[in-house]
Amino acid sequence: MADAPGLVRLCAQLGRHAALDDVRGYLQRAPGEASDCLLVAQVGEALGGWLEVVQRSALATSAWAEISGLVVEASLRKCGVGGALVRGARAWAKEKGLSRLRVRTRVEREAAASFYERAGFCLTKQQRVYELDV
């Protein structure tokens, strides 16, 4: 819970404006809901970054792990924090018996694409994303 304000601050660096109460609610979920994992990087006394990885499944394919969010404090980028978080996500996926780790990034986030390629990810497809309010 003490990390909640730092998580909100890092969400803003990602371009997302998470409400503190929403982040606290997320952190209070029952630990038994283990279909996802939040990894937090502590650098000294500061919150250096976070990565959320979730287990996904679909009718036509085997289950996989997917990074649904990753952000590293701007001043700590290219210092190994993101790589450590990805290694943690890979370990979590292996522990769950999943053989694939997927991540999606916006086309205009060229630095993120370069990071993922350096981390060993391969571009497998490009797609359009549509939303509909319900």
The answer as to whether 10 is a domain residue is: no
CB 103 within 8 A of CB 90: no
pLDDT tens readout for residues 36-47: 899 999 988 889
Indicate whether 105 belongs to any domain: yes
pTM for this model (two decimals)? 0.86
Q: For residue 46, give the CATH number of its domain.
A: 3.40.630.30
Q: Give the mean model confidence (pLDDT) for residues 100-119.
A: 93
pLDDT tier for residue 29 given thresholds of 50, 70 and 90: confident
Residue 112 placed within a domain: yes
pLDDT classification of 3: cutoffs 50, 70, 90: confident
- Range of 52's domain? 33-118
Q: Mind listing the pLDDT tens digit for each residue in 72-85?
A: 999 999 999 999 99
In a domain, 123, yes or no: no
**How many domains does the chain fold into?**
1
Q: Is residue 99 part of a domain?
A: yes
For the chain, percent of residues with pLDDT exceeding 70: 96
Burial category of 98 from C-beta neighbours within 10 Å (exposed 0-12, middle 13-18, buried 19 and up): buried
Q: What is the mean pLDDT of residues 87-102?
A: 95
Could you tell me if residue 79 is inside a domain?
Answer: yes
